[in-house]
Amino acid sequence: MTIPLANAALIKVARQARGMSQVQLAKAAGVTQAAISKCEAGLMQPGAELIESLARALTFPASLFYETDPVFGVPVSINYRKNASVGAKATDKMEAEINLRLMHLRRLLSSMDYQPELTLPRFDIDDYNGDAARVAQMVRRHWGVPSGPLHDLTALVERAGCIVLPCEFESIGVFGLTLQPPGLPTCIFLNQAMPGDRQRFTLAHELAHAIMHRMPSPDMEREADVFASELLMPAQDIRGDLMHGITLPRLAALKPIWKVSMGALLMRAKALGCITDMQSTYLWRQMSKLGYRMKEPVEVDFAPEQATAFNDILRAHAEELGYTMADFEAMLHMHASELNKMYKIERPDPAPKLRLLKFGA
C-alpha cells in the first residue's frame, strides 16, 4: 500500500493560521524546532505519528496535511490603512486564512457546475493610456448598468462570477485584496468589520485590479481609486448633484443615495471641478472638527452589502447534495466549531434535501 506524503506547504499554512512560530509549535507538539523546520522546508517527510502530533497541537484534522493543494502568496497589491503597519506574523496569518478558504472553495466547486450569469471583462489599462475612468465606463456598459447610483455592487460582481469573501482583517488594518488563482473564480477578500461605504469602495477598488491589472505597476493603486470613483459616481451622472451649494448637510443627504462616504463625495466634487481648492479645504476642516473623518454621522450610515455566492454554494451542498456537518468536516479538513465560525454552517444534521439552486439563473 502506498503511504501518502505530507504537504510541507500546508503544515506551514496550518501553523501560520494559528499564529504560532516554529518554536511554539515544536513545544506544543513535543518535538524539536529542527523537525518542524525540516518538515516545512520539505527536507524531511513526517511520519504518521508526527502528523498526528502536529494535528493535535494545531487543532486541525490530520487529513489536511495530506492534501495536494498549491499555496499562494499574498498579492503585491494589498489595500490597507495608510497608518497601518502590517507585520510579518500578521501577514502570514492572513495568507494562511486565504489559502484555507481557497482550498475550501476548490473542494466545493469540484462537486457542482458553477456558471455565472455575466462575464468579468478584462481591459488592460495600458491599452487605454492609463485612463481608468474610461475603463469603468466600459464596465458599466458591459454589464448593462443604468445611469445613476449603482445600488448593489456586491450582487453585480458576484453575478459576474467573482466570489466575495468577508474576512477578519480589521486587526491588521487591511481593507481588501484580490486573487485570481488558476482554476478558480476571481476571489475578492474584504474586511468584514468595515462600514458599508468603505466596503463598497474597497470592492470597486479590488474589482479594478481584477479587470485592469495583469502586472504590478507604480500607478495601480491610484488607477484603482479612479476606477472605483467613476464606477460608483459616474462623472456625467453625479456632476449635477455636486455643482451647487456643497455643504456638509448636502454631502450627508447624498451619501445614502450614492452609497459612498461623505469623504468620497467631497473628493469627487473636487476632482470634477465642482468646488474650488479653498472650498475643499474648508469642508475638510469642518469634517475634521466634527470628527467625520474618523466616523461619519450614524444617521446616514447604511448596512454593508451581503456577499451570497459562497453561502449559496454551501447551501446547495447541504440542501441538494445532502451534506451533513460531518461531510463538511471531512471535505474541508476543519472541525465543525471552526467551520461554523468561518462560514456559519449551522444546519441540523442530517440536512433536508431541497431543490438545487441554479446559480446565475
Set out the domains of the chain in order of their start, with CATH numbers: 1-68 (1.10.260.40), 72-105+114-232 (no CATH), 235-300 (no CATH), 308-361 (no CATH)
If you average pLDDT over residues 156-179, what whole number do you get? 91
Report pLDDT for 91: 86
Band of residue 171 on the pLDDT scale cut at 50, 70, 90: confident
- Block residue for cell numbers 463625495: 265
CA-closest candidate to residue 208, choices 274, 257, 138: 138
Burial class (CB in 10 A: 0-12, 13-18, 19+), 229: buried
218 has a pLDDT exceeding 80? yes
List, for residues 90-146, the tens digit of each pLDDT value. Answer: 889 999 999 999 999 999 999 888 889 999 999 999 999 999 999 999 999 999 999
What are the backbone dihedrals phi and psi of residue 355, each rounded to the nearest 5 degrees, phi first? -65, 140
Residues 301 and 260: beta-carbon distance below 8 Å: no
Range from 117-121, 159-163, 348-352 carrying the lowest mean pLDDT: 348-352
Mean pLDDT of 221-243: 97
41 or 90, which is more confident? 41
Give pLDDT tens digits for 69-102: 999 987 766 776 655 566 778 889 999 999 999 9
pLDDT score, position 192? 92
pLDDT the model gives residue 73: 86
Of 209, 269, 265, 263, nearest to 232 (Cα)? 265
pLDDT attached to residue 168: 87
Q: What is the pTM of this model?
A: 0.90
Structure confidence at residue 84 (pLDDT): 57
Q: What is the pLDDT of residues 252-294, one digit of tens each?
A: 999 999 999 999 999 999 999 999 999 999 999 999 999 999 9
For residues 54-75, one letter each, b for 16 or more C-beta atoms within 10 angstroms of the residue's C-beta and e for the rest, the string is bbebbebebbbbbeebebbebb
What is the distance between the alpha carbons of residues 246 and 283, in angstroms, rounded to a whole number? Answer: 9
